[in-house]
Chains A and B, each alone.
Chain A
Amino acid sequence: MNRGAWLLGRLAQIVPSFLAIGLAVFVLARLLPGDPVSAVLGDRASDATIARLTAQLGLDRSIPVQLWGFLAGVMRGEFGESIAYRVPVTRLIAERLPATLMLTGLAALIAVVAAVPLAFIAALRADRWPDLLIRSVFQVGLSTPIFYVGLLLLTVFAAWLHLFPVGGYGEGLGEHLWHLFLPACTLAFSFAAVLMRSLRGAILQVLTAEFVDFARAKGLRSQVILGRHVLRNALIATVTLVGLHVGSLLGGAVITESVFAVPGVGRLMVESIFARDYPVIQALTLVLAVLVSLAFLVTDIVQMWLDPRVGR
């Protein structure tokens, strides 16, 4: 009952948040210097051509009128048309979103699979050589620019060894996964480093916590302690971290998608910012915000399920 009410409360907060985000991105987009029409038409277009397209796109209307048009459209589920590509924004996003979702999902999975066991090893052998080795490798991951990691992986595994395709997306689920493996590894590299560090800390903390001492005193074998207490606490920490980092994973996807020519929304977002493609910027921001909020919500639910103390 309590939990149900809490969940409802969370959901109720989301709607005004999105209104605020919509407003914020509308203003932000119009703060960008330059305008979409001259960005699309370029240096050579005559003033008359620019005026004509501006009017055609309704960009000569006053800002409040434009804002109202945008918000009213959102209510109806309409996001308008891309200025640069001249197709409905919803279609553009629908074409691009799956690649990004798959990329970030795969990256999160790879990061968790790599980081969790290694974090355990590092924590259980704290400050000895396995710990130092693992931490050094991940440190390199944490300090190498993401595009450079991508370029290296591409050159070695795709161009030299021909184990993977050089970027792109392919067709069909199997090909998608195959194409996205290297970019996902690239994206996972730095995230795995963050995850490993935090998890190692969390495990160390649990290992020295009072309740573990208490369990030991009760005579429980160490495997049981590890399994029952440490693992569960570590799991909670992992879920929390993955949820918290969905935003930065999506951000990292911007660079990864460019390097690997993945047709995702990250690349689209940056292109749209540069092209001043207001409708795409606005719609995409809202879509990404929904995704991140959903990730937070799922995180909260999983946390609640794992840890009865959460949820008041």
Chain B
Amino acid sequence: MDKITGLTRRSALALAASFTVFPLLGLSGTAQAAPVRGGKLVFGRYADSQFLDPVLNDANVDIWVMTNLYDTLLQPTKDGLGVQAGLATKWDLQDGGKTVMLTLREGVKFADGTPLQASDVKWSLDRCRAPKNGPWTDLVASITAVEIVSPTSIKVSLKVPDPSILAALATFNTAILPQKLFEAAPGATEDEKAKAYAEKPVGTGPFLLAEWKRGVSMKLVRNKYYWKQGEDGQALPYVDELEFQIIPDDSTRLLKLKAGELQGTEFVPYTRVKELQADPNLRMELWPSTRVAYLTMNCREKLKDGTANPLGNVKVRQALNYAVNKDALIAIVTQGLGVPMTSFMSRTTPLHYKQELYKHDIAKAKALLVEAGFPNGFETSSLMVAGNQDGLNILTTVQQMWAAIGVKLKIEPVDNATLTKRYRADDFSMRTAAWTNDIADPGQITSYFAYFPNIASLHSGWQDKKLDAIYLASQEEVDPAKRAAQYKEIQEIYAASAPILFLYETPYPVVFRKNVTGFVQIPLGNNMFESAAVAK
């Protein structure tokens, strides 16, 4: 526990030092007077949710709003690095990190008024770790048993000491659901029940889903039983109603905000940020994020079609990294809002280790290409999602920059489903990509980016056996200092071999009308509306 808070503080300092470009709005507590109660907040989203089951969902559009409906035993802190009390008020690591004892908060009710019971907790944790249940089971794979010690006490036993277990208990997939209600949902199989239940989910979160028109709008109403208190000493949330409207077109969404038809909206295009910052009726918020943007490279000796792949050569990948002027690219693509990546994980990820990665150096890039046997460059290609403006801007810029070292980049836009198919089949040279963490721990991103056995390091085929071994050891290392040293080595090995083209990190751009306060988006992306209020 102590060690974890110590870790949090250290990382928080690093965060503050590295992120001076992002104004940390909202963290300092802008509102002096207690927020106004009541009213309705209409928030514009770029895409609708698909499936509001914490365990079986798959996409950020679900994850990022789910915290408003469900609670986890622990909750991520606002800076996204540590944990704080949630449905559990106390937590204790025992037995050398192989047991977690949790004390449940008393008097918590689900949004339908039924009380939260220890059996709901056991059932929910057992469900989320059942191996057949979806893509998130890895996050809780270390749990071997969940026992009810007393009506307010839960014991979680682990196979091995798991340094990420507390973060896992604060991650969306371990949300607590009402067992009885779930089992009463229509359907013969558990999957059918999950689908029926997710139609009208009931959790202990600040809001309750009232109406959902797929792809159009989602209406949430205040959960009158919510346990958390506001600044005025009464139960949160402040607003009576929260409505999400789905408006995919960026320009339309912003026009609607300016006309006052929306009180806030997400995913502001970088090109619009300055303009909105200057608008006296609006407040532009740039939330620190775990989002990194990069190009995934196929690092195999041969491509899917059997042709030789220059990117299989580490020197070529290094040359491509040296040839890109990150500052210029960031100025063009993000209008200066981003910062260059300093590791494959963002600065906001615990145990991030900062390195200066491939400072723009054409001479070095050319020399590396000569060493690699490509003095005249070569031709390569990159997939992107057709119509994605950031992707197009990145590739157009990179194309121009690589031309200086004789590398000809062919831009291959395809629609999203085609890209996913070719990516999964390892049938690509490069592709545009972005990543956000789902858990406040470096383990997840590393298992996808660097640890080969999971998904062949982002389907790149890149493998470093030593790194794989360090990663496995780090998954059981409870000493923060030792784990930090392991992660330093992992990040150094990865950076040196450059399986990706390192680009930039960007904050989450969210904009509100001036009279809206209290919204929080944590680095993991979760949109928190529990403390949001609309002044008259």
Contacts and interface: CB of A to CB of B under 8 A. Distances in A.
A–B direct touch in complex (beta carbons closer than 8 A): yes
Contact of B421 (A33, A40, A154, A168): A33
Contacts of A205: none
Interface string B134-149: 1100000000000000
Interface in A256-282: 258-261, 263, 267-268, 271, 274-276
B40 interface: no
A50 B157 CA distance: 30
Contact of A39 (B195, B199, B214, B417): B417
A166 B252 contact: yes
Nearest to B257: A166
A95 B214 contact: yes
Given A85-B50, A159-B259, A44 B215 contact: no
Contacts of B18: none
A32 interface: yes
Contact of B213 (A46, A154, A166, A263): A263
Nearest to B131: A48
A259 B252 CA distance: 6
Contact of B255 (A36, A43, A45, A154): A154
Q: Which of A151, A158, A167, A276 has the most CB of B within 10 A?
A: A167
Contact of B256 (A34, A168, A263): A168
Contact of A86 (B51, B217, B247): B51
Interface of B is mostly: mixed
B89 interface: no
A276 B419 CA distance: 13
A130 interface: no
A63 B417 CA distance: 20
Interface string B427-460: 0000001000000000000001000000100000
Interface in A194-239: none
Given A87-B214, A95-B216, A151-B251, A44 B135 contact: yes
B424 A38 contact: yes
A260 B50 CA distance: 22
B379 interface: no
A179 to B, nearest CB: 10
A84 B433 CA distance: 22
A82 B214 contact: yes
Contact of B417 (A32, A82, A159): A32
A258 B248 contact: yes
Given A45-B58, A92-B214, A258 B249 contact: yes
Interface string B177-198: 0000000000000010001001
A9 interface: no
Contact of B259 (A34, A43, A166, A271): A166
A268 B424 CA distance: 26
Q: Which of A33, A258, A271 has the most CB of B within 10 A?
A: A33
B466 to A, nearest CB: 25
Nearest to B57: A41
Contacts of A276: 417
B216 A35 contact: no
Contact of A44 (B50, B199, B421, B448): B448
Interface in B244-265: 245-249, 251-253, 255-256, 258-259, 261
Nearest to A273: B415
Interface in A5-23: none
A227 B456 CA distance: 77
B420 interface: yes
Contacts, number: 118
Interface magnitude class on chain B: 35 or more
Interface string A43-87: 111100100100010000000000000000000000000101111
A34 B248 CA distance: 23
A128 to B, nearest CB: 40
Contacts of A30: none
B59 interface: yes
Contact of B195 (A36, A84, A86): A86
B431 to A, nearest CB: 9
A159 B255 contact: yes
B423 interface: yes
Contact of B261 (A42, A43, A151, A166): A166
B416 interface: yes
B131 to A, nearest CB: 9
B337 to A, nearest CB: 24
Contacts of A151: 251
B256 A166 contact: yes
B281 interface: no
Given A44-B58, A44-B135, A82-B214, A166 B255 contact: yes
Given A44-B448, A274-B415, A85 B215 contact: yes
B132 interface: yes
Nearest to A44: B135
Contacts of A267: 215, 248
Contacts of B134: 49
B258 A159 contact: yes
A52 B58 contact: no
A287 to B, nearest CB: 16
A165 interface: yes
A260 B252 CA distance: 7
A167 B191 CA distance: 37
Contacts of A39: 416-417, 420
Contacts of A87: 199, 214
Interface in B214-261: 214-217, 245-249, 251-253, 255-256, 258-259, 261
Contacts of A36: 417
Contacts of A248: none
26 contacts: A32-B417, A33-B417, A34-B415, A34-B418, A35-B421, A38-B417, A40-B50, A40-B58, A41-B135, A42-B58, A44-B58, A44-B448, A56-B191, A85-B50, A85-B214, A85-B215, A86-B50, A155-B255, A167-B255, A259-B252, A261-B249, A261-B253, A263-B216, A263-B217, A267-B215, A268-B215
Interface of A: 32-36, 38-46, 49, 52, 56, 82, 84-87, 92, 95-96, 151, 154-155, 158-159, 162, 165-169, 258-261, 263, 267-268, 271, 274-276
Given A44-B135, A158-B255, A168-B247, 13 more contacts: A33-B418, A34-B421, A41-B58, A49-B135, A84-B50, A85-B214, A92-B215, A96-B216, A166-B256, A167-B252, A168-B245, A261-B246, A267-B215
7 closest A-B pairs by CB: A34-B417, A39-B417, A34-B421, A263-B216, A261-B247, A85-B214, A166-B256
